[in-house]
């Protein structure tokens, strides 16, 4: 088991270094995000990691493109008020018009998850991770889906991958085998 986790960690590090996110340069300050991800990987406490994570999410949720930012704001308001159908309609338009904006796909995956449409959610998560391989939120979402589907090994693999990016994710507690910090290098 330890050798499998070590292999997953090595492959993840290679992926993170070799595959820069496709969306970042177009919609956000990619240099700032790169720096935040570097800080997150070495955060020394959950509080520090949470602060860095909030900054990352603020970049993801607030793209530089004004029209896109306005649509994401509308989608967020619809989601917050429980209007899932309206939110889904907005996000459908977002991913159609901005197909390389990973957070549009991620938010739509979240809505699909809330609607128990796991197949659609997983398809959108795949798109998120193709655009932004460091998206620990998408990985965590897939972890939850896999656990609900009884796919523990797949969930564990994604949890290890997510923890390599964000070592203090709360979903770690779902895996007693990850009680020790095996994601630290």
What's the confidence (pLDDT) of residue 181? 54
What's the confidence (pLDDT) of residue 179? 72
pLDDT along the chain (185 residues), means of 10: 40 33 53 94 96 94 91 95 97 97 97 98 98 96 97 97 96 87 48
Residue spans of the domains in the chain: they are 2-178
| pTM for this predicted structure | 0.81
Q: Which alpha helices (H) appear in the chain, and where do they start and end?
A: 2-18, 24-27, 30-41, 46-61, 66-80, 84-97, 102-114, 118-131, 136-148, 152-165
Domain 2-178 = CATH 1.10.10.10: no
């Amino acid at each position: 088991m330890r050798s499998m986790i070590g292999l997953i960690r090595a492959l993840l590090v290679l992926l993170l270094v070799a595959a820069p996110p496709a969306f970042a340069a177009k919609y956000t300050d990619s240099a700032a995000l790169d720096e935040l991800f570097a800080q997150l990987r070495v955060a020394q406490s959950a509080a520090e990691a949470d602060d860095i994570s909030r900054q990352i999410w603020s970049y993801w949720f607030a793209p530089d493109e004004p029209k896109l930012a306005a649509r994401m704001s509308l989608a967020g308001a619809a989601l917050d008020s429980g209007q899932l159908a309206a939110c889904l309609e907005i996000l459908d338009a977002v991913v159609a018009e901005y197909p390389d904006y990973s957070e549009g796909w991620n938010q739509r995956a979240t809505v699909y998850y809330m609607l128990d449409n796991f197949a659609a959610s997983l398809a959108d998560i795949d798109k998120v991770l193709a655009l932004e391989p460091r998206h620990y939120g998408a990985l965590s979402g897939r972890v939850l889906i896999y656990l609900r589907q009884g796919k523990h090994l797949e969930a564990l693999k994604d949890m290890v991958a997510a923890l390599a990016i964000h070592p203090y994710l709360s979903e770690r507690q779902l895996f007693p085998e990850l009680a020790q910090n095996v994601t630290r290098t």
